[in-house]
Amino acid sequence: MTSTILAVSQSGRHTFSKPNQLSIRLLRGLGVEGDAHMGEKVRHRYHVARNPDAPNLRQVHLIHGELLDELRAGGFSVGPGDMGENITTRGVDLLGLSRGTRLRLGDFAIVEITGLRSPCKQIDGFAPGLLAAVLDRTPDGGVIRKSGVMAVVIAGGEVRPGDPIDIQPRSGPFEALAPV
DSSP state, residue 126: H
Close Cβ partners of 180 (under 8 Å, ≥ 6 residues apart): 57, 58, 114, 115, 116, 117, 118, 150
Structure confidence at residue 21 (pLDDT): 98
User: pLDDT tens digits for 136-146?
Assistant: 999 999 999 99
What whole-number percentage of the chain has pLDDT above 70? 99
Structure confidence at residue 43 (pLDDT): 86
Q: Is the pLDDT of residue 153 over 90?
A: yes
pTM (2 decimals)? 0.96
Pick the CATH number of 4-168 from 3.10.620.30, 3.40.50.620, 2.40.33.20, 3.20.20.70: 2.40.33.20
User: pLDDT tens digits for 15-33?
Assistant: 999 999 999 999 999 999 9
Rounded CA-CA distance 56/41 in Å is 4
Rounded CA-CA distance 159/2 in Å is 17
Close Cβ partners of 108 (under 8 Å, ≥ 6 residues apart): 155, 156, 157, 158
